[in-house]
A and B are shown apart, each in its own frame.
Chain A
């Protein structure tokens, strides 16, 4: 079975631009979470979606937004990119979105802002 898949794997954007990252969860998983991992640090929680509704939001500015589709895939959008947004963006899925379930990560999308 396929794991969590993310696209694109690498991308370079200019300051002020907008970016959309995509994620497909493990088959049967209904919850998707997004994490930002800056070089040398642990992942930081951005959003969680379950059954197309936002279940949690981390301490990130409103430039960050996300949504989940009926097929449980998800997009993360970041507007007005800053140099500090350069990071590995990780998508994770779990079966029911509660804290009792393990989250499984994709390979991530490397975003470089220049």
Chain B
């Protein structure tokens, strides 16, 4: 079965500092991994996705994530935090099993606070 674990439910960084949000996955097959962002009172917006084409994935708003099979990790980073990055971030893995549709398994989320 697929699952993801997000380490750190709350992360605070200063504006301009590095953002690092951690995600580890568990999957019985090579996974498809995703990061979504959720702003207050809104739905989830796709940041980026890993689909085995390249281990370093670039997404929107300057975010990127690196797939590391040896560490079963897919951490999200951004070199310089902006105030507008304050939001809830979710890591997810999709179920690629045969005849199981496209159920996504989400982590519990990491709330990012950016300090001016």
Q: Which A residues lie at the B interface, using CB under 8 A? A: 4, 31, 33, 35, 40-45, 48, 50, 55-56, 58, 90, 92, 94, 97-108
User: Chain B interface residue count: which class?
Assistant: 20 to 34
Please, what's the 1-or-0 string for B89-101, where 1 marks a CB less than 8 Å from any CB in chain A?
Answer: 0101011110011
Query: Is the pair A103, B43 in contact by a Cβ cutoff of 8 Å?
Result: no
Residues of B within 8 A of A48 (CB): 101-103
Q: What are 23 sample pairs from A and B whose C-beta atoms fall under 8 A apart?
A: A4-B43, A33-B102, A40-B109, A41-B108, A45-B103, A45-B104, A48-B101, A55-B100, A56-B101, A97-B101, A98-B102, A99-B96, A99-B100, A99-B102, A100-B51, A100-B94, A100-B96, A100-B102, A101-B102, A105-B36, A106-B43, A107-B42, A108-B43
| Given A42-B109, A43-B90, A99-B32: A105 and B45 interface contact (C-beta under 8 Å) | yes
| Given A42-B109, A45-B105: A90 and B100 interface contact (C-beta under 8 Å) | no
CB-CB contacts below 8 Å: B58-116 with A:
90, 92, 94-97, 100-109
Chain B residue, CB-CB nearest to A95: B102
| Given A41-B108, A42-B109, A102-B49: A56 and B100 interface contact (C-beta under 8 Å) | yes
Q: Which B residues lie at the A interface, using CB under 8 A? A: 32, 34, 36, 42-46, 49, 51, 90, 92, 94-97, 100-109
- A31, A94, A99: the one within 8 Å of B97 (CB): A99
Chain A residue, CB-CB nearest to B52: A100
Chain A residue, CB-CB nearest to B108: A42
Residues of A within 8 A of B94 (CB): 99-100, 103
Residues of A within 8 A of B96 (CB): 98-100
Residues of B within 8 A of A94 (CB): 102
Query: Is the pair A99, B101 in contact by a Cβ cutoff of 8 Å?
Result: yes
Chain A residue, CB-CB nearest to B34: A102
- B42, B102, B105: the one within 8 Å of A97 (CB): B102
Query: Is the pair B95, A43 in contact by a Cβ cutoff of 8 Å?
Result: no
Q: Bound complex: CA of A103 vs CA of B36, how far in Å?
A: 10
Q: Bound complex: CA of A4 vs CA of B42, how far in Å?
A: 12
